[in-house]
Amino acid sequence: MRIIYVVLAVFLMALMATPGKSQSKKSCSGRCSRTCGKGEKEEHTEDCRRMYCCLAHRKKK
């Protein structure tokens, strides 16, 4: 009986450690570039692949 619990525990830990396919993929709402400007925020998205998605910082009022 202990072996079943151990196998179940290992299976659940492995299941929780792998990323799910239902996670939403981000798309770039700015521009894709290898380098971003000083006033831009760098993010990684699916659209830009290995480049950065450069987003302009919003100014606080």
What domain range includes position 50?
28-61
Instruction: Confirm whether 13 is domain-assigned.
Output: no
Domain contains 56: yes
Q: Considering the domain boundaries, does residue 9 fall inside one? A: no
Q: Is residue 49 part of a domain?
A: yes
pLDDT of residue 58: 66
Q: With respect to residue 42, please indicate whether it lies within any of the assigned structural domains.
A: yes
What pLDDT, on a 0 to 100 scale, did the predictor assign at position 13? 84
In a domain, 32, yes or no: yes
pLDDT for the residue 54: 92
CA distances from 20 to 5, 11, 13, 36, 58 (A): 24, 15, 13, 30, 32
As for how many domains the chain has, the answer is 1
Is residue 19 one of the residues assigned to a domain? Answer: no
pLDDT at residue 27, rounded to an integer: 85
pLDDT digit string (tens) for 6-54? 999 988 888 777 665 555 567 888 899 999 988 898 888 888 888 999 9
Question: How large is the greatest C-alpha to C-alpha distance in the chain, in angstroms?
Answer: 63
